[in-house]
């Protein structure tokens, strides 16, 4: 293989034994090289730099009344309710779940560690980091259209990902990511069940996430915590995550139990995560603590308990302070956030969140990673599947600041989807997924969507016209 072929395989994420059916190899290489060398795609040390901002700042939401839409929907699922586009962010939900991959280095770290308990610590940090991007992200991602896809290849980080919207009712998004060097496979199917409770919207986690560390012949499974967006009607929007997340190593029997704490009456527990790792004999090896918005630490259980006892003793000596009474108003005020985690002496840092760009607040509170998810560099149009959500005109119009056009396109696409469904019903045709098949998760024995392969062969003939 010559140097051009080596670059071609690495840049596109194609295995050398995967052919480029549906597009000639020469034209495919030309498109990739064009993407790499075009002046609009800057390079740094041979690695393509991604954009760090959106084309336009976010739309002001305070001019839109949501109460007129939601007042009859208390207790209902929101998947069938059309929301004003001003409450969206310019990403598809398929792109939103791709943000799990922002801290892929934690998977690589886990793969490199020789001891199973140490690997579990890195996996636990990855599970927490996977929800960290939701901090202050109060915009709703666009609902994917049935058959919509999204691919992400990050050669510099050594992975590629493909996702597909495999079901519309209920809405299910399936994804499959894999290491370019064969170290891991990360996959799952997500069904976010949303409910409106008067002042807040709650997302119940549905679906299993699976991480396979191939070098160690290990598989880990878990589900995400609950997520709640407060003050949908009145006041400042804010987010909390809560619930118990159990990560199981199906090969060794090791388990990590993470408690994402609700904020409580006075907000003392806001953003806090606390848990432990035990082996199959239920012996606790370490305590994990921190905040999902900031960092996670690991420490010996005896050290942690001694520290907590000393801390509690110190609090008792100070005496009880007068707690402020909660105001009885229409908004759930967000508690004052203490953005530092008190480190227990002897702790080991597992993960710390990356800082966001300075203009993030005017761009939907996106991270640097999220800023680049919808970019479409020159040359990519001829590479991506036509169902890739980078081609969605409503999302594209919104990120460019054209809100009226985005709203019209969103309505058009939704009507097109409804018409296609009615046509299938008339012809008694079932929808067929392309890249994922319904099956059983071999580790949990639960229903799952399994990647059937072939996407990166680049044979996109016969895909539906969804846009």
Q: Could you please report the per-residue DSSP string of 323-351?
A: PPPPP-SSS-PPPPP-----PPTT-EEEE
Q: What is the pLDDT of residue 313?
A: 73
Q: What is the pLDDT of residue 237?
A: 80
What's the Cα-to-Cα distance from 396 to each of 82, 152, 388, 391, rounded to whole Å?
19, 17, 12, 7
Q: Which two tokens stand for residue 187?
A: 């996959």
User: What CATH number is associated with residue 407?
Assistant: 2.40.160.120
Q: What is the pLDDT of residue 73?
A: 58
What's the Cα-to-Cα distance from 377 to each of 58, 113, 391, rounded to whole Å?
22, 37, 12
Phi, psi (degrees; rounded to nearest 5) at 420: -65, -40
Residues paired with residue 238 on neighbouring β-strands, in sequence order:
230
Q: What is the pLDDT of residue 336?
A: 63
Q: In the block, which residue shows the tokens 């609700």?
A: 262
Is there a domain that residue 323 lies in? no
| DSSP tag of 23 | S
Helix (H) or strand (E) holding 12: helix 3-12
Domain coverage including residue 41: 3-316+336-457
What is the rounded (10 degree) CA torsion for 233, 238, 244, 250?
110
Is there a domain that residue 115 lies in? yes
What's the Cα-to-Cα distance from 150 to each of 33, 204, 272, 378, 448, rounded to whole Å?
21, 23, 32, 17, 19
The radius of gyration of the chain from alpha carbons, rounded to an integer in Å, stands at 23
431 C-beta neighbours (distance < 10 Å), count:
13
Q: Where are the beta strands (DSSP E) in 250-386?
A: 255-260, 272-278, 284-291, 295-299, 348-352
Q: In the block, which residue shows the tokens 């409910």?
A: 195
Is there a domain that residue 400 lies in? yes
Is there a domain that residue 25 lies in? yes
Is there a domain that residue 113 lies in? yes
Is there a domain that residue 465 lies in? no
Task: Answer whether 327's CB lies under 8 Å from 226's CB.
Answer: no
CA atoms within 13 A on the CB side of 256: 30
414 class by beta-carbon count within 10 Å (0-12 exposed, 13-18 middle, 19+ buried): middle
464 C-beta neighbours (distance < 10 Å), count:
15
Helices and strands of the chain, counted as H and E runs: 10, 21
Helix (H) or strand (E) holding 422: helix 403-426
Number of domains the chain contains: 1
What is the rounded (10 degree) CA torsion for 336, 337, 343, 349?
170
333 C-beta neighbours (distance < 10 Å), count:
14
CA–CA gap between residue 356 and residue 369 (Å, rounded): 9
pLDDT in tens, the chain (467 residues): 443 333 233 333 334 334 333 343 343 344 444 444 433 455 655 667 899 999 999 987 665 555 555 555 555 555 555 667 888 999 999 999 999 999 999 999 999 999 999 999 999 999 999 999 988 888 889 999 999 999 999 999 999 999 999 999 889 999 999 999 999 999 999 987 877 777 788 888 788 999 999 999 999 999 999 888 888 777 778 888 999 999 999 999 999 999 999 887 767 788 999 999 999 999 999 999 999 999 999 999 999 999 988 877 766 665 544 444 444 455 666 666 555 788 999 999 999 999 999 999 999 999 999 999 999 998 899 999 999 999 999 999 999 999 999 999 999 999 999 999 999 999 999 999 999 999 999 999 999 999 999 999 999 999 999 99
CA angle 262, 268, 272 (to 5 degrees): 55
Is there a domain that residue 239 lies in? yes
What is the rounded (10 degree) CA torsion for 8, 10, 15, 21?
-30
* pTM (predicted TM-score): 0.84
116: helix, coil or strand?
helix
CA–CA gap between residue 208 and residue 418 (Å, rounded): 29
Pairing of strands 200-204, 172-179: unpaired
Nearest Cα to Cα of residue 107 among 384, 385, 350? 350
Q: What is the pLDDT of residue 43?
A: 61
CA–CA gap between residue 321 and residue 266 (Å, rounded): 13
Transcribe 120-164 into DSSP letters. HHHHHHHHHHTTGGGTT--SEEEPPPTT-EEEEEEGGGTEEEEEE
Residues 6 or more apart whose Cβ sits within 8 Å of residue 168: 145, 146, 417, 421, 431
Is there a domain that residue 265 lies in? yes
Q: What is the pLDDT of residue 36?
A: 42
């Amino acid at each position: 293989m010559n140097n051009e072929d080596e670059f071609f395989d690495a840049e596109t994420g194609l295995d050398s034994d995967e052919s480029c059916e549906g597009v000639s190899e020469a034209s495919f290489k030309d498109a990739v090289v064009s993407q790499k060398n075009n002046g609009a795609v800057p390079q740094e040390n041979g690695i393509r730099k991604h954009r760090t901002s959106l084309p336009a700042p976010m739309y002001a939401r305070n001019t839109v009344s949501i109460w007129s839409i939601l007042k009859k929907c208390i207790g209902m699922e929101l998947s069938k309710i059309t929301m004003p586009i001003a409450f969206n962010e310019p990403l598809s939900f398929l792109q939103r779940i791709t943000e799990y991959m922002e801290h892929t280095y934690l998977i690589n770290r886990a793969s490199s560690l020789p001891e199973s308990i140490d690997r579990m610590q890195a996996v636990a940090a990855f599970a927490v980091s996977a929800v960290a991007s939701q901090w202050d992200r109060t915009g709703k991602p666009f609902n994917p259209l049935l058959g919509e896809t999204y691919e992400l290849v990050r050669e510099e980080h050594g992975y590629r990902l493909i996702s597909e919207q495999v079901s519309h009712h209920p809405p299910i998004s399936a994804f499959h990511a894999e290491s370019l060097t064969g170290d891991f496979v990360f996959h799952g199917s997500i069904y976010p069940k949303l409910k409106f409770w008067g002042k807040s919207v709650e997302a119940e986690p549905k679906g299993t996430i699976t991480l396979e560390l191939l070098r160690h012949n290990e598989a880990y499974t878990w589900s995400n915590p609950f997520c709640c967006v407060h003050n949908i009607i009145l006041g400042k929007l804010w987010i909390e995550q809560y619930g118990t997340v159990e990560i199981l190593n199906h090969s060794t029997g090791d388990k990590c139990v993470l408690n994402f704490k609700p904020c409580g009456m006075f907000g003392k527990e806001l953003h806090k995560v606390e848990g432990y790792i035990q082996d199959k004999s239920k012996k606790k090896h370490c305590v994990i603590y921190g905040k999902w918005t900031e960092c996670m630490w690991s420490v010996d259980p005896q050290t942690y308990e001694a520290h907590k006892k000393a801390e509690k003793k110190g609090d008792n000596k100070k005496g009880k302070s007068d707690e402020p009474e909660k105001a009885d108003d229409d908004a759930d005020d967000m508690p004052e956030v203490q953005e530092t985690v008190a480190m227990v002496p002897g702790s080991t840092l597992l993960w710390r969140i990356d800082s966001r760009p300075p203009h993030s607040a005017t761009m939907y509170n996106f991270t640097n990673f999220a800023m680049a998810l919808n970019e479409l560099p020159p040359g990519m149009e001829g590479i991506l599947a036509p169902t890739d959500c980078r081609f969605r005109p409503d999302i594209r119009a919104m990120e460019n600041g054209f809100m009226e056009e985005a709203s019209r396109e969103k309505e058009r696409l939704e009507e097109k989807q409804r018409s296609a469904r009615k046509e299938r019903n008339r012809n008694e045709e079932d929808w067929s997924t392309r890249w994922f098949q319904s099956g059983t998760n071999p580790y949990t024995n639960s229903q799952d969507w399994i990647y059937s392969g072939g996407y990166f062969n680049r044979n996109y003939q016969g895909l539906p016209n969804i846009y």
